[in-house]
Amino acid sequence: MNTIRLTELDMIIRLGLGFLAGAVIGVERSSRHQVAGLRTHILIATGATLLMLLSIWLPQEFQSMKNGDPGRIAAQVVSGIGFLGAGAIIRLGNNIKGLTTAASLWLVAAVGLAIGAGMFVAAGAALVITLITLIVLAAFEKRFFPTERNKLLEITFLSNNPDTQETLDILRSFGVRVLSMDVDQGMNKGKEKNRGTRLRLFVGISDHIDSTALVKALKINGAVERVEIKEKY
């Protein structure tokens, strides 16, 4: 049986391609200010390439070890990369960020393994598909499926009996989803008691919504003293 042995030049070329693949995806992630950016993706792709080369080289150099399996080390990379991916996921209250970056880490490791194994066409195709997904489809998703973030909306009214229905109508007109509502009447304000009402709303706000315009609309009738929008923790 004829076998093609890895040379040192082959290894250097494949490591260089692994570096390039990690850099291409890493630049895109860094441009979006993600926790795992250029250097992280380069290190993962290059490391995965090196481990795949090692998987191939060991049985090639130690032919007396008949039970050698070139895919054994690669299999551990696939499971081990999950720990790095988990580190890229951030929970902010009820919002979760970093899932796409975690997936890109997992995929760039797979690209590195493919390059290390000499599957250049498959690795190149996967790289192109990844870029299309991260750049082209990101714009499509943002346009047609905007991200909705859960936030706490606090509205302070001057009156003890405010027209909350008008407030809800304004929120509905902006496309804000009200998930829960709590009314606190008769708040203390300085030395004056039983004056004013605070309305606490747990809402879902799309990235497309202009928060400044929303606050202005809520305060337009003069019955609202203060409006605060903040993350829910």
Residues 133 and 199 in one domain: no
Phi and psi, residue 184, nearest 5°: -120, 100
Residue bearing the bigger pLDDT, 169 or 67: 169
Classify burial at 66, counting beta carbons within 10 Å of its beta carbon; exposed 0-12, middle 13-18, buried 19 or more: exposed
- Residue 92 gets which letter from DSSP? E
Same domain, 95 and 118: yes
Mean pLDDT of 133-156: 82
Distance CA 90, CA 10 (A): 39
Q: How far is Cα 202 from Cα 170, in angstroms, rounded to an integer?
A: 15
Task: Write the CA distances from 150 to 203, 211, 212, integer angstroms.
Answer: 6, 13, 17
Predicted pLDDT of residue 226: 87
Residues 20 and 124 in one domain: yes
Indicate the DSSP class of residue 189.
B
Q: How many angstroms separate the CA atoms of 165 and 183, rounded?
A: 13
119 and 16: one domain? yes
177 and 132 housed in the same domain? no
Q: Which of 28, 48, 12 is nearest to 123 (CA)?
A: 48
Are 181 and 125 members of one domain? no
Q: Please report, rounded to a whole number, the percentage of residues in the chain having pLDDT higher than 90.
A: 26
- Range of 160's domain? 148-231
Two tokens, residue 181: 């509502």
Main-chain dihedrals φ then ψ at residue 9, nearest 5 degrees: -65, -40
Number of domains in the chain: 2
Statement to judge: residues 128 and 37 lie in one domain: yes
HSE at residue 233, side-chain half, CA atoms within 13 A, is: 3
Do 121 and 223 lie in one domain? The reply is no
Q: List, for residues 69-116, the tens digit of each pLDDT value.
A: 667 777 788 778 877 777 777 665 555 678 888 889 999 999 999 999
The reported pTM is 0.65
